[in-house]
Amino acid sequence: MSNPNNARWLAKLAAWTHDPAEKALVLMRDPLGHEGGTVRDLRQKIFPGGIPNEIKAAMKRADHWAAAADRPQFGGGGRDYWAQVRFEKNPVLIHPLSGEEFDLNTLNEIDPEHIKALSGMHFDELIVSQPGEGNPIDLRKTALNFWRFGPELACSLPTLWQLLPADTRVPDHTIWSHLDLSSAFATAFSTDANQDAALLSMSFGPVQDFIAASRTTSDLWAGSHLLSRIAWEGLKVIASELGPDAVLFPQLRGVPQVDLWLRDEIGLPKERFADAEWASAKTDANPLFMAALPNKFVAIVPADQAAALAEKVTAAVRDWVKKTAQAMLTELLEKASIANHPDLPCHAQLTAQLAGFPEVHWATVPFSLIAADTDGKALPEQETLAAASRPFLGNHQTPGFLGNEVWRLLSKEIDIDNARFFTPNPGVLYPAIYDLLDRVAAAAKSVRPFTQVKYEGYRCDLTGEAEWLTTDRSQLSYGKAGRKDAPTLWNAAAKALPGLLRKGEHLSALAMLKRLWPRTFVAEIANITGENIGRYVVSTHTMALATSLERWIDDGGLSDNRVGEFERLLAAAAKVQRVALPRRLVKKLANRQAVNERTRELAAKLPGLLDQDDLSEGESDQLKRDITKLLGDQKPEAYYAFIMMDGDKMGAWLSGTEADYNLPYAKTWHPQIREKAKGRFPQLDAYLKADRAVSPARHMAISAALNGFALHLARHVVEDLCKGKLIYAGGDDVLAMVSVDDLLRCLFLLRLAYSGIWPNDSAELEQLLATVNSKKRAIFKRGHALLDGQLIRLMGQKATASAGAVVAHHQTPLSRVLRELRATEKRAKNEGGRDAFSINLLKRSGGAVHLTLPWLQPDDKWPAALEGSLTETPMALLLKLRAIFSGDTSRKAAYLTQGWLTDLPTASQIGMAALNTLITANLEFQLKRQGSGDSQDANAAAARLLVATACRIATQRASEPAPIIRDLLAVAEFLAREGRTTGEAS
């Protein structure tokens, strides 16, 4: 094996053919054994001369380590061995994060020969031959084809195929995660001089500061998308060198940017991607516009190459940033008609300002810290690993995983009924290696190298840090007034690129990178799809206007008494550009037969009409009157909302350090063998009760669930079910804009989609969320979602998320809105105690309102809550109150109640129960009095629920209920104002 490149791809293919994908369905049913069917045939085609001995050894050890890392290695004990499962007779799958069991009843109807034939044909089609005599196999393309498309079988059982377990006795992780892990280990073993593997962690930044420096929503999107793209440029180095299966998280399978790389750079068959939305979508709905990769990754790499790979990744991302910025600067100079000489100051400025960007932090821990022979026959000895870990915990502590009960149980052989149940190998110590990696990475990130840079001139208008780029350093002494009409690069470029660069704005290299990235990326998309999308980022003004536009579109866009206004506005719109509308409105405009082409044209230009700043006072007044008349005599909505959502305790999920997020080993076993072991084998009792240690399969499951949420569900909720724009969705983080009338619905749907949960009694909730008529809504259930025929496994009911939302006027500076948004999201986690939401109303008239509530009533838990309807939760209460105030109940009730609430005694004076009774009586009277006869009963019920909820939350917080009631009413009343309650998901 003189060619190391061949060695790694041979090792991958050996690993991918050591177990058949259909193993669970043929085990103990195939006379040839599970390794005698598909596996044998594939190996004969891929390895006609047999697997080289060194590759075979690496693959075998990789399989053993992968199995030990993910599950106990049950031994054999004959056909009557207690730990055997006939999966076709007793098929059970277990959600890897929540522990929920899914009994499939029976799979007897699946004939083993039939599924073997389907699997064989499937993988045969994935083998790629090289051109030339004899058509030898292209090892790299075949291995990558197996990784990408192996889990996608075109048959009547596509969902089952994706979820087939690696081990029917521990059915909480799939055969695909086992094959991925085995392949990653085999690649490392076969290419490392000492047959050693290591975990490598890398992160890129800065994150918050880079994103926050935004003047427009275009800047905001660009910052998020650039960081995601930078992460991919780093990940691409690992994927190219070792294969994408080397990356434990984020999981890369199915990520659009990765698929694009596989098609265009690796050269996988184009027909495999023909139906992918990213390959054809000609709008900003194209998934490639999503910032869907986090700024951190963890990979399994050859230990002797870990440092070199980290340096190569660092060089690659910084080189990509510099080349991209240089190309932008070249275009600016060309547009400004300035000769591009290499000695222009802007080139030196760009190099200096981008030096060290992005910040890159990395850490690596080799498995060689575990002393064991290479074939894994000796028990792992952990003293070297313990010594390496002690500096992070103190010399007198037994570090991390090595000091807990689980390792005491796993560090010895276990025999039952004279049959081997468990023999540990170094793979068992994956949790300790990961724990040390996490600590080393945190230490590395705390060290921030600083290089002093001397700046003499005025600073960038966007970031306020570095100098703005100039072609003449003497211009840097000009202040804002002095450079207003000066022949600067930026003044000339602004004339050539109107709408992209603001008049008078002068930017540094980093700010230029953000501002021009949308233009650069659109050009990339044009090369992929063959069509230029143009401007695509939804502005805050457009998002605010979306509420009024949807109502107008639903009315058909025109009525007989608005013809004059329509014609005048259409004529005026000829001189303004079309703007990007929320995806849901674009679909409505395209699908509604009552809407003609002229109406579609005006809808896409109305925000631009309102954005004009060169109109006379008379022209402006006439324009506003015409638009108000066109929209049904209602003033256009001027408010919109920003949402920031974040998964709770993600560090604990990954580290496994908190019992609330773990599962006992018994919960991950097939119920059949769990019952057989219960009380029968005392030596297993402690093991079964212990929390299962973190494993690669768990990390892959978390990453796959977060990918499924970010790539599919978050966008579906924000852009299909609501009038919103997804700015960022990377793992558990979401940043989105949404129209104010869709805010509450979007918040609650995002929370339910994150966990993949929905109540059993859903009719009333669907009415509240206005999804009852939505035919294309994803179906959430028991930690999964079904969307467009695709089953997506999500985080499950044990996982929670917190969200902050800010409602702001479209003219409020974006920097202030983002600042308030981050504070509001923190309020949900801190004041709300996590699994909560917080809403901040930034009223243009002043007097901000902060409302922070849990998703569930205090002391309620998600599994039990899902047995009901979720219609008495705080969010459902808010929806009900908004519906009351937008109906025939006067909003005056909210104002009057807020007045007398301050005059009531406190709970500390009369007790919470007496206060509850007092407020309920008064609020029932108030809401009934301001309502009509038809609504009085509903109003009284809402009053009782409101007071009871506020009292329960106040008791939990040791506070008073009156402020909670006041803020609930204030938010509900504001969101119920005229024109803010339209729209159903469609």
What pLDDT does residue 430 have? 92
- 289 CB neighbour count, 10 Å cutoff: 23
- Which segment of 108-112, 702-706, 708-712, 771-775 scores lowest on mean pLDDT? 771-775
pLDDT tier, 986 (very low <50, low <70, confident <90, very high otherwise):
very low
- With b for 16 or more beta-carbon neighbours within 10 A and e for fewer, the 908-929 pattern comes to eeeebeebbeebbebbbebbbe
What pLDDT does residue 390 have? 79
pLDDT tier, 66 (very low <50, low <70, confident <90, very high otherwise):
very high
Mean pLDDT for the stretch of residues 848-871: 92
446 contacts: CB under 8 Å, gap ≥ 6: none
pLDDT tier, 844 (very low <50, low <70, confident <90, very high otherwise):
confident
Give me the percent of the chain exceeding a pLDDT of 70: 92
What pLDDT does residue 612 have? 75
929 contacts: CB under 8 Å, gap ≥ 6: 893
Say whether 658 sits in a helix, a strand or coil. coil
What pLDDT does residue 667 have? 92
Higher confidence at residue 574 or residue 186? Answer: 186
What pLDDT does residue 78 have? 52
What pLDDT does residue 731 have? 79
Indicate whether 16 pLDDT > 70. Answer: yes
- DSSP category for residue 556: T
Indicate whether 12 pLDDT > 90. Answer: yes
Which one, of 708, 649, 568, lies nearest residue 95 by Cα?
A: 708
| 247 φ/ψ angles, rounded to the nearest 5 degrees | -90, 115
Mean pLDDT for the stretch of residues 608-627: 80
Tokens representing 931 are 């309502």
Which one, of 506, 496, 495, lies nearest residue 471 by Cα?
A: 506
Place of tokens 């290089």: 451
Q: How far apart are CA 15 and CA 33, in angstroms?
A: 18
pLDDT tier, 5 (very low <50, low <70, confident <90, very high otherwise):
low
Kind and range of the H or E run holding 63: helix 53-70
Residue 726 and residue 734 in contact, taking contact as beta carbons nearer than 8 Å = yes
HSE-up (13 A, CA, CB side) for residue 510:
27
Which one, of 194, 178, 193, 242, lies nearest residue 371 by Cα?
A: 194
- pLDDT tens digits along 630-639: 887 778 888 9
Indicate whether 2 pLDDT > 50. Answer: no
- pLDDT tens digits along 872-910: 999 999 999 999 998 888 888 888 888 898 888 999 899
Most confidently modeled range among 35-49, 771-785, 806-820: 806-820
- pLDDT tens digits along 467-524: 999 999 999 998 888 888 899 999 999 988 877 788 788 999 999 999 999 889 988 9
- pLDDT tens digits along 432-465: 899 999 989 988 887 766 666 778 888 998 888 8
Tokens representing 838 are 């917080």
What pLDDT does residue 1 have? 38
Mean pLDDT for the stretch of residues 126-131: 89
Tokens representing 808 are 């702001």
Q: How far apart are CA 873 and CA 864, in angstroms?
A: 13
Mean pLDDT taken over the chain: 87
- Listed in order, strand segments (DSSP E) in 593-721 are 639-647
- Which segment of 8-17, 203-212, 308-317 scores lowest on mean pLDDT? 203-212
**C-alpha distance from residue 345 to each of 451, 512, 738 (Å):** 20, 15, 42
Indicate whether 35 pLDDT > 90. Answer: no
- pLDDT tens digits along 236-285: 999 999 999 999 999 999 999 999 999 999 999 999 999 898 988 877 77
Mean pLDDT for the stretch of residues 771-788: 83
pTM of this prediction exceeds 0.85: yes
Indicate whether 289 pLDDT > 60. Answer: yes
Mean pLDDT for the stretch of residues 820-846: 93
Indicate whether 700 pLDDT > 90. Answer: yes
Tokens representing 79 are 């056909």
What pLDDT does residue 656 have? 86
Indicate whether 80 pLDDT > 70. Answer: no
Tokens representing 424 are 């540990």
Number of H helices, E strands in the chain: 41, 17
What pLDDT does residue 981 have? 64
Mean pLDDT for the stretch of residues 78-100: 85
Which one, of 502, 462, 470, 467, lies nearest residue 488 by Cα?
A: 470
- pLDDT tens digits along 133-168: 666 899 999 999 999 999 998 777 788 999 999 999
SS (H, E, C) 302-328: EHHHHHHHHHHHHHHHHHHHHHHHHHH
Residue 724 and residue 739 in contact, taking contact as beta carbons nearer than 8 Å = yes
pLDDT tier, 63 (very low <50, low <70, confident <90, very high otherwise):
very high
- 871 CB neighbour count, 10 Å cutoff: 19
Indicate whether 911 pLDDT > 80. Answer: yes
Beta strands 101-103 and 639-647 are unpaired
- pLDDT tens digits along 556-586: 666 556 778 888 888 888 888 778 888 888 8
Mean pLDDT for the stretch of residues 537-553: 86
Residue 70 and residue 173 in contact, taking contact as beta carbons nearer than 8 Å = yes
Mean pLDDT for the stretch of residues 43-70: 92
Whether omega before 582 lies within 30 degrees of 0, making that bond cis, reads no
- pLDDT tens digits along 617-626: 887 888 888 8
Place of tokens 């909730």: 765
